């Protein structure tokens, strides 16, 4: 599973990364976490508001920092 955290490095982007990282660790997931900070790379996803989260290349969350429980729900929907 691949998680991409899209954001230019702002406080909320860092918080989103931390939340996803905690969920991956707590659930023992075999996952890759990638920070996408280049504005051109973010735009390629069609994202205009950050932070955003992509799971396996699909945008699943834009413009907010979810709770750990919300991240688990997003994973389970996949």
Catalytic residue, candidates 10, 18, 43, 48: 10
CB-based contact 53:3 (threshold 8 Å): yes
Catalytic residue, candidates 13, 16, 36, 47: 13
Query: Catalytic site residue 13?
Result: yes
Query: Catalytic site residue 15?
Result: no
Q: How many helices (H) and strands (E) does the chain have?
A: 3, 4
Which residues have a catalytic role annotated? 10, 13
């Amino acid at each position: 599973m691949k998680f991409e955290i899209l954001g230019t490095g702002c406080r909320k982007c860092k918080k989103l990364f931390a939340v996803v990282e905690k969920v991956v660790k707590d659930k023992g997931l075999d996952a890759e976490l990638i920070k996408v900070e280049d504005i051109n790379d973010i735009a390629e996803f069609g994202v205009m508001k950050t932070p955003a989260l992509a799971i396996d290349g699909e945008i699943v969350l834009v413009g907010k920092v979810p709770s750990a429980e919300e991240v688990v729900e997003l994973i389970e929907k996949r």
